[in-house]
């Protein structure tokens, strides 16, 4: 795993010369140092003791410098430069370093602090110069940014395997106020709690602990060279942190009086899951926490326990609140548990997260976690660094908020899960009551917004009208059949305006999965069936109904026979063939419920508003069973039948009595070999998810305002749960 650090661009030019060192036949221990002689480039100097002369099987030439014999070793186009003196051999990627060694051989030029550190350290230590704008420390991001000076020197004893790299040692801090760690000099280590409030999906967490905030604040102002201004409310602060998730930074301040800071700097509260979110002015806190945290963009805040949380958006705070309320916090994640055993229980500075978010130029891998910890002591800081694969910890299922999206107005229809035909990723499309249409990616980012002239009629479909594997969005409004391309642009030649309006929701049939679509909708009593070119299908004869449609038309196939089903407002049920002729004559009229009509066990199944279940066979005979209360829902999927009758959930031979409430419906979902059953209590904003034995899944119910959908948005094998978040938001959980 040590090879991961060869990604630094400064090492590119010396990878090959370093490889030549391995070919030298010697078993002695040596000292390898890296020196930045040029910008963005390192050279190395390697020295070791040996009574034997160097035995190097390379092309060798010699020159002299200051009366000393200097060797040049060449293999192909790569070079090493060498010199020997008094049984000490020097090898380098640069002749300049050899010349410097010759000039300084009998001089004492080594930093005294490094000499003392070297004497106290094990022989296999790594020493890092962490001051005077060191090339390596500049790549380390501590908190919000990199810093020129971290400490004087860092000495680390390293140990590595194929799956882990660990380094433990000390960082020395002299009396210079230029070192970042000087800010924490004199502090006692504390127990950090930020991971209890960071969401399960946290990408990186920097937490800073202080036993004496006023001392930290004073030393921080000296470090910045500004006049110290004390705020007594902050003196009780014990911890502050930067929490990154969904590519955004949020912030945490924990202490005894932070609720008074919340009241002082926050206004205009709204309530979310029982917690107030307020508009926030971060300027007062900013001057006390920068340069470790940057709160300038924080516009909202909330309080949980003795913790003040700040973020640039309400949606970020809603994710933090939802995570806390569902106990889906970072301290339960595999990444955190992988790293926590490498750390001291009480510390000063902690980092846990992705490698690339802590060190520039190094790439993160999906199954690993990086950790860094400093623990303050008298005149130095214990230092722990670790990069580990996650396989060492058994991953458990954890339901966690993934993202929350707030729209500009309450939601009218959606969200619907759609496919990005370019990447095959899943996305969400939704319209608000201001008739604005949104396309949202799998991470909660709004890809585009499009202003429409009217509300969408109930449903949005994805179609491939050109049969080229490029998908469009198709739907009706009050007076238009609209087709939009992937970018939200209107496809003019496939869209139609109807001057008299009164269009019904669109249905889309694809009889043989050949993408030869039938677009079916009504205008009042008139029935339209159009083809891929938005032209009327010739030969379809059901062009006028006795009443408007109460639901979109349906295509059902039973025993290789196609049926087109139309439910009309006068109670009529029309079951036709593909030409629009009557296939099953139904003379009865029905008071249709809000539930859909399904095919089940060779029958057409639907219910009426009185709670009767109707089963119509393929000869047109209607069998009626009074099995429901008027307030009932059911769903049929792949031969499975689930019922929610008032508060009683029924599946197969199992019954589950839910708390009394106002439920939004019931949905049966099959994913692979797993079955989920979900319903939502709209009044109490609770989503319930059950397995096929009607066992309520762990962590449920969770917060949500609508019947939930289940989909693998990220195509990572983990299912997401999609629900409304109040009237104008979308809330997505992951981990199902």
Among 627, 645, 666, identify where a domain stops.
627
Among 358, 392, 426, identify where a domain stops.
392
Q: Which of 138, 135, 240 is nearest to 184 (CA)?
A: 240
* Tokens at 443, concatenated: 């991470």
Question: If DSSP states are collapsed to H, E and C, what string results for 76-111?
Answer: CCEEEEEEEECCEEEEECCHHHHHHHHHCCCCCCCC
Position 279 in a domain: yes
Burial call 649-663: b when 16+ CB within 10 Å, e when fewer: bbbeeeebebeebeb
Position 6 in a domain: yes
Residue-wise pLDDT tens digits, 249-296 = 999 999 999 999 999 999 999 999 999 999 999 998 999 999 999 999
* CA 184 from centre of chain: 32
Q: What is the mean pLDDT of residues 44-52?
A: 85
Position 378 in a domain: yes
Q: Answer yes or no: do 258 and 336 share one domain.
A: yes
Q: What are the DSSP E strand ranges found in 452-586? A: 461-463, 472-476, 480-484, 496-497, 507-509, 518-523, 526-530, 554-558, 561-567, 573-576, 582-584
Q: Answer yes or no: do 169 and 275 share one domain.
A: yes
Q: What are the DSSP E strand ranges found in 538-617? A: 554-558, 561-567, 573-576, 582-584, 598-600, 603-607, 612-616
Position 246 in a domain: yes
- Select the more confidently predicted residue: 2 or 426: 426
Position 729 in a domain: no
Residue-wise pLDDT tens digits, 449-483 = 999 999 999 999 999 999 999 999 999 999 999 99
Q: Answer yes or no: do 163 and 103 share one domain.
A: no
Q: What is the pLDDT of residue 524?
A: 96
Q: Answer yes or no: do 182 and 99 share one domain.
A: no
Q: Answer yes or no: do 197 and 72 share one domain.
A: no
CA distances from 206 to 122, 202, 241, 353, 727 (A): 29, 11, 5, 9, 34
pLDDT band at 687 (very low <50, low <70, confident <90, very high): very high
Whichever domain contains 581, its CATH number is 2.40.10
- Select the more confidently predicted residue: 231 or 138: 231
pLDDT band at 717 (very low <50, low <70, confident <90, very high): confident
Q: Answer yes or no: do 174 and 85 share one domain.
A: no
Question: What are residue 640's DSSP bridge partners?
Answer: 637
Q: Answer yes or no: do 238 and 383 share one domain.
A: yes
Q: What is the mean pLDDT of residues 708-715?
A: 89
Q: What is the pLDDT of residue 143?
A: 87
Position 241 in a domain: yes
Range of the domain at 310: 159-392
Q: Answer yes or no: do 187 and 286 share one domain.
A: yes
State the pairing for strand pair 68-75/496-497. Answer: unpaired
Q: Answer yes or no: do 183 and 290 share one domain.
A: yes
Q: Answer yes or no: do 101 and 248 share one domain.
A: no
Lookup result for tokens 């009574």: 51
**Best-predicted range by mean pLDDT among 17-31, 128-142, 504-518?**
504-518
Q: Which of 650, 649, 736 is nearest to 697 (CA)?
A: 736
Position 65 in a domain: yes
Three-class DSSP category at 16: helix
Q: What is the pLDDT of residue 729?
A: 94
Among 596, 627, 658, identify where a domain stops.
627
**Best-predicted range by mean pLDDT among 21-30, 385-394, 405-414?**
405-414
* Tokens at 296, concatenated: 């300038």
Cβ neighbours of residue 81 closer than 8 Å, sequence gap 6 or more = 70, 71, 72, 73, 91, 92, 93, 94, 95, 97, 98
Does the structure show a pLDDT above 70 at 629?
A: yes
Q: What is the pLDDT of residue 32?
A: 86
Q: Answer yes or no: do 309 and 203 share one domain.
A: yes
Does the structure show a pLDDT above 80 at 528?
A: yes
Q: Where are the alpha helices (DSSP H) in 300-397?
A: 314-325, 334-340
Q: Which of 2-11, 522-531, 692-701 has the lowest mean pLDDT?
A: 2-11
Q: Answer yes or no: do 104 and 164 share one domain.
A: no
Residue-wise pLDDT tens digits, 492-514 = 999 999 999 999 999 999 999 99
Position 473 in a domain: no
Q: What is the mean pLDDT of residues 15-24?
A: 80
* Tokens at 635, concatenated: 């769903």
How many domains does one find in the chain?
3
Whichever domain contains 80, its CATH number is 3.40.1000
Three-class DSSP category at 336: helix
pLDDT band at 153 (very low <50, low <70, confident <90, very high): confident
pLDDT band at 437 (very low <50, low <70, confident <90, very high): very high
Q: What is the pLDDT of residue 393?
A: 47
pLDDT band at 24 (very low <50, low <70, confident <90, very high): confident
């Amino acid at each position: 795993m040590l090879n991961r650090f060869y990604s630094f661009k400064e090492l590119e030019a010396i990878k090959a010369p370093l490889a030549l060192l391995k070919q030298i036949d010697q078993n002695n221990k040596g000292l390898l140092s890296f020196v930045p002689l040029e910008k963005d480039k390192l050279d190395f100097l390697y020295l070791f003791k040996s009574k034997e002369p160097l035995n190097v099987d390379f092309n060798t030439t010699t020159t002299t410098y200051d009366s000393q014999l200097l060797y040049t070793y060449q293999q192909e186009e790569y070079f090493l430069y060498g010199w020997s003196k008094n049984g000490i051999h020097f090898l380098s990627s640069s002749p300049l370093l050899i010349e410097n060694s010759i000039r300084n051989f009998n001089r004492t030029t080594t930093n005294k602090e490094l000499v003392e550190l070297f004497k106290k350290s094990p022989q296999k230590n790594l020493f890092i110069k962490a001051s005077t704008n060191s090339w390596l420390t500049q790549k380390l991001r501590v908190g919000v940014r990199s810093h020129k000076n971290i400490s004087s020197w860092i000495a680390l004893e390293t140990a590595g395997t194929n799956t882990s790299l660990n380094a433990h040692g000390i960082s020395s801090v002299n009396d210079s106020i230029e070192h970042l760690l000087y800010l924490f000099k004199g502090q006692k280590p504390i127990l950090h709690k930020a991971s209890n409030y960071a969401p399960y999906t946290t990408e990186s967490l920097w937490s800073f602990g202080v036993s004496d905030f006023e001392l930290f604040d004073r030393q921080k102002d000296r470090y910045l060279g500004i006049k110290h201004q004390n705020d007594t409310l902050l003196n009780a602060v014990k911890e502050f942190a930067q929490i990154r998730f969904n590519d955004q930074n949020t912030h945490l301040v924990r202490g005894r009086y932070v609720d008074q800071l919340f009241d002082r700097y926050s206004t205009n509260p709204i309530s979310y899951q029982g917690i107030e979110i307020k508009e926030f002015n971060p300027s007062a806190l900013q001057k006390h926490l920068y340069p470790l945290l940057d709160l300038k963009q924080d516009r909202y805040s909330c309080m949980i326990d003795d913790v003040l949380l700040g973020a640039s958006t309400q949606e970020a705070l809603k994710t933090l609140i939802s995570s806390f309320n569902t106990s889906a916090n970072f301290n339960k994640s595999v990444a955190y548990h992988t790293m926590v055993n490498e750390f001291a229980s009480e510390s000063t500075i902690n980092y846990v997260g992705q490698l690339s978010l802590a060190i520039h130029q190094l790439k993160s891998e999906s199954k690993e976690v990086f950790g860094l910890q400093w623990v303050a002591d008298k005149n130095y800081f214990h230092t722990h660094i670790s990069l580990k694969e996650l396989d060492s910890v058994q991953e458990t299922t954890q339901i966690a908020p993934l993202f929350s999206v707030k729209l500009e107005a309450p939601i009218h229809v959606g969200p619907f899960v759609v496919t990005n035909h370019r990447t095959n990723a899943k996305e969400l499309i939704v319209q608000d009551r201001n008739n604005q249409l949104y396309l949202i990616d799998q991470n909660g980012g709004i890809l585009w917004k499009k202003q429409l002239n009217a509300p969408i009629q109930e449903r949005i479909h994805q179609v491939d009208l050109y049969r080229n594997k490029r998908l469009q969005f198709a739907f009706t409004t009050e007076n238009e059949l609209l087709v939009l391309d992937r970018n939200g642009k209107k496809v003019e030649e496939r869209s139609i305006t109807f001057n008299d309006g009164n269009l019904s929701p669109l249905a889309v049939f694809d009889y043989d999965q050949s993408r030869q679509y039938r677009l079916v909708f009504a205008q009042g009593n008139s029935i339209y069936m159009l083809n891929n070119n938005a032209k009327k299908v010739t030969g379809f004869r059901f062009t006028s109904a006795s009443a408007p449609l109460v639901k979109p038309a349906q295509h059902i196939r039973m025993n290789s026979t196609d049926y087109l089903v139309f439910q009309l407002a006068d109670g009529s049920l029309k079951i036709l063939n593909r030409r629009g002729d009557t296939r099953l004559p139904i003379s009865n009229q029905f008071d249709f419920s809000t539930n859909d009509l399904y095919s089940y066990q060779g029958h057409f199944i639907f219910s009426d508003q009185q709670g009767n279940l109707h089963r119509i066979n393929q000869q047109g005979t209607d069998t009626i069973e009074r099995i429901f209360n008027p307030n009932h829902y059911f769903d049929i999927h792949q031969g499975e039948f689930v019922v929610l009758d008032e508060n009683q959930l029924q599946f197969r031979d199992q019954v589950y009595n839910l708390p009394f409430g106002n439920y939004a419906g019931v949905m049966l979902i099959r994913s692979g070999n797993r079955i989920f059953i979900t319903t939502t209590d709209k009044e109490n904003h609770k989503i319930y998810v059950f397995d096929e034995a009607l066992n309520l899944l762990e962590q449920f119910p969770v917060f949500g305002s609508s019947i939930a959908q289940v989909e693998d948005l990220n195509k990572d094998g983990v299912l997401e749960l999609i629900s409304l978040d109040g009237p104008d938001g979308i809330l997505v959980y992951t981990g199902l």
